[in-house]
Structure 1
Amino acid sequence: MKDVKTSNWGDYKVFSLINNKGTQVDISDLGGLIVNFYTNDIKGNRKNIVLGYDTPDEYLSGKCYLGCLVGPWANRIANGHFSIGEKDYQLECNEGTNHLHGASAGLGNKRWNVECTDNATLLLTTMVQGGEAGYPCDIEFKVEYHLSEDNALSINYQAFPQAMTPINMTQHTYFNLGEREDVLDHFIQIEANEYLHVDALAIPLFASPVEDTPFDLRKGLVIKDGLGHSNEQLENAGGYDHCWCFYSTEMKPVARVHEINSGIELQVATDQIGMQFYSGNFLNNESGRGSKKYNKHAGFCLETQCYPNQINMDNKQDCIFGPNKHYQHNVIYKVLTTKI
């Protein structure tokens, strides 16, 4: 493994994890961003498999959460409201009546402290102060990125709140494994028997079987074929923007995505009970890296997490953390080249 390379990036820095296969993941102290993820396709050509911008200012002003760490609460909380015990809390609402991705307390806009713990690992830390966006207490966040020699990017998320609060962290990288301007030709497989059926505001209503629906990705399908179905859930969201249910908190493989022309495959494993598959439905003429325009379905996200709005569901206790119960979450994004 090569030593971590550090470079200035406007008022911020970029730290490059590079293995001996030439895979390189560039991570910034701005938002814990995955700025670039370079790997080789099946022909040996170097490719950046994530969407992004050129400058920190574009990330700070962007509305699509490209590449950033997300929290204190990833995804949505209905009406920004929840209760713990007898006390009610009101969070800032930044998506209509929803609290989304931490709102103004979002981790993706914070400057993180970065420590190179070895030549393959970065440790990032930051704080959310009590009262930011309505959160009840101070929360310390730690995220470790590790790139292995077999092209696996492991992420360990931890949070240490000073009082009881909901926490749900994730990574919001948009992937595109091919050369096309959209990901519609990508083949996706998700190992889940159920997904969360949502209302018109993308708030889960109940877990529903995937069988006989375009959400049955157990054997896999090409994204455009799934989107081609007439389905109210897809129509409401403009595509896939749903959480698949795994239930187990053991580390397990949950998804893989393959692009046939590049031969690049992305495999995901996690210890979380859910994963949001988002097919980039709201990208709309977004000015991205190298003067590219990102439009609908230009990238996809695989966001491992607990359930959206879980803090208002029957299993709410599982997403409440405090001084004696800190938050932890593991995910591995592994890249390889293979024929389908």
Structure 2
Amino acid sequence: MGGAVHEVEPIRLSTLTTLRTGGAPERMLEASTTAELVDALTDVWSRGEDWLVLGGGSNLFVGDEPFEGTVIRILTQGIEELSSPHEGRVRLRVQAGHGWDDLVAYAVEHGYAGLEAMSGIPGTVGASPVQNIGAYGQEIQETLVEVELIDEATGEISVVPAAELGLGFRTSVLKHHYGGVPQRRAVILSVTVDLVVASERVVRGEQLRRALGLDSDAPVPLTWVRERILATRASKGMLLDEHDPDTHGVGSFFQNAIVPEIVARSLPPECPRWPVTPDLDAVTVIPLASYDGFVSAVKPEAPDVKVSAAWLIEQAGIRKGFKLPRSRASVSTKHALALTNRGGATAAEVSELARFIQSRVHSEFGLVLQPEPVLLGVEL
């Protein structure tokens, strides 16, 4: 593709991540075009080095020791409008380094519906399918068509349908899970979403309707939805603000817990919960050789339930603004689910606070909260 490898002086990761922890890597590359990104990855992989791709740094918790490897900063930009095979819809192909909220703003401004509830989520477009980002009941998997990616094992570039990414609650086959490795080691180059051409919409989801304070089924403008979501996120310290320490974190540090219905019933009734929608279009495959003309009835299963991690944390005695003695890390003063760096906090201090919260919730409710960000050189 003809891009050049652009090596720069390594920058401390504490200045490039929203949680503000981490030292400088051994080596740092920057890629402003797809060609540069492909060449940078190819160069790193040929050396057999440890590597990390870095977008907005908003979902990354980095340890205190310097990263012994190469960090590649993805700075690619651009939105391309494409025709959709579905009437009344449009497709947007977006470069991996493009800001996620910039994409949402573009979609809302042009009257394209499907992303507006995810307004204000920090980070880049390329990271969005890896985490299957979502907010207020809306997730990117609802509009994601495909991604263009490059595989580490082969160096080949391919277009992969969303159905092959193993998208689930805040997960995919590309995600580095805590204590594990991704099922597929690859880097996203671009993302394509399919959106409804409409400047207003009827809001259906319970979580989003509650957040917006809606009690009717009348259509509402996308611009209004975006404004309300941004205001709500700001009130919770979930919009990045240089002057607000409550935003110096990774957003929600812990995932809302997904539990079987029987477990949810054991929690206090006032614990907020939402059903995880079952697959109503599940396909049963029966080998032709064994088909006898009858298909057994599918046994209905109770859907899993998503319960509020923030509620569990507060009911375990961890209040907003809580911090351990002499620590510079604390729970946000606005939202119990966010752990924040109040100024100069080390990764060890953040980890200590996270472990304390996990132990309190487990002691009270028997549930182990899982971290949402990618952990690099740090353990909980």
| TM-score bin, normalised by smaller chain | under 0.3
Rg larger in 1 or in 2?
2
Quick check: which one's strand share is greater? 1
Quick check: which one's helix share is greater? 2
Higher relative contact order (CA 8 A, sep 6+): 1
